[in-house]
């Protein structure tokens, strides 16, 4: 959402404020500027790579044979590119 907002010329802080007050509120969105790895893209050796391991463990626990959803989820995670965003002011 932030990369799309930036591409459209929208103010990132305003978008984060709207997200924080909506049903789209998340801990990650509320703390994005304070999280040192928040702008990383996928790399097997970084935090996003660790998240991949956790997602795989969750999918294994579902024990449904690894369908289309599971494959698509992992493909999207692996396709994450670094966010090139200017940090906003801490609110």
Instruction: Note if the pTM is more than 0.75.
Output: no
Residue 88 maps to a domain: no
The pLDDT assigned to 62 comes to 80
Residue 45 maps to a domain: yes
Whether residue 3 is predicted with pLDDT greater than 70 in this model: the reply is yes
Instruction: Verify that 27 and 44 share a domain, yes or no.
Output: no
Residue 27 maps to a domain: yes
Q: Tell me the residue range of the domain where 1 lies.
A: 1-39
Q: How many structural domains comprise the chain?
A: 2
Instruction: Verify that 75 and 49 share a domain, yes or no.
Output: yes
61-73 pLDDT, tens digit per residue, is 887 666 888 889 8
Q: What is the mean pLDDT of the chain?
A: 81
Q: Write down the residue that tokens 């369908």 correspond to.
A: 67
Burial 39-77 (b: 16+ CB within 10 A, else e): ebebeeeeebeeebeeeeeebeeeeeeeeeebeeeeeee
The pLDDT assigned to 13 comes to 82
The pLDDT assigned to 88 comes to 54
26-57 pLDDT, tens digit per residue, is 888 888 888 888 778 888 888 888 888 888 88
Residue 10 maps to a domain: yes
The pLDDT assigned to 91 comes to 44
């Amino acid at each position: 959402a932030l990369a799309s907002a930036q591409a459209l010329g929208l103010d990132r802080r305003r978008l984060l404020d709207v997200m924080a007050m909506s049903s789209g509120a998340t801990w990650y969105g509320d703390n994005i500027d304070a999280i040192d790895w928040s702008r990383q893209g996928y790399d097997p050796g970084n935090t996003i790579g660790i998240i991949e391991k956790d997602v795989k463990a969750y999918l294994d626990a579902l024990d449904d044979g690894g369908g289309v959803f599971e494959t698509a989820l992992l493909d999207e995670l692996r396709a994450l590119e670094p966010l090139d965003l200017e940090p906003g002011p801490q609110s």
